Structure 1
Amino acid sequence: MRVVAEIPHASFKITVFSWNGKYLIKLERGPYEQTYKISEMDVLGDEGLKQILDETFINEAVGLFQQMHQNLMAAQERAE
Structure 2
Amino acid sequence: MRVVEEISLPGCKVSILAMNQKFIIKFEKGNLEQTYKVAEIDLIFGLEDVKKMLNEEFITKVMERFRQMDNDFDEQLAQL
Same fold (TM over 0.5): yes
- RMSD over equivalenced CA pairs, Å: 1.0
Hey, what's the Cα distance between the residues in 2 that align with 1:11 and 1:30? 9
Moved more, 6-15 or 20-29: 6-15
Hey, what's the Cα distance between the residues in 2 that align with 1:11 and 1:28? 9
What whole-Å deviation, never above 9, does each CA across 1:23-45 have from its counterpart, x for those lacking one?
A: 00000000000000100111222
Hey, what's the Cα distance between the residues in 2 that align with 1:65 and 1:26? 13
The residue identity in structure 1 corresponding to 2:37 is: K
Q: Which runs of 5+ in 2 are unaligned?
A: none
Hey, what's the Cα distance between the residues in 2 that align with 1:58 and 1:33? 14
Hey, what's the Cα distance between the residues in 2 that align with 1:45 and 1:16? 12
Q: Describe how 1:11-22 pairs up with structure 2 within 5 A.
A: 11-22=11-22
Q: 2:72 maps to which residue?
A: 71
Structure 1 stretches of 4+ with a deviation exceeding 4 A read none
Hey, what's the Cα distance between the residues in 1 that align with 2:6 and 2:26? 10
Q: Which runs of 5+ in 1 are unaligned?
A: none
Deviation at 1:46, TM superposition (A): 2.4
Q: Describe how 1:18-29 pairs up with structure 2 within 5 A.
A: 18-29=18-29
Q: 1:32 maps to which residue?
A: 32
Equivalenced residue count is 79
Instruction: With the length of structure 2 as denominator, give the TM-score of the two structures.
Output: 0.92
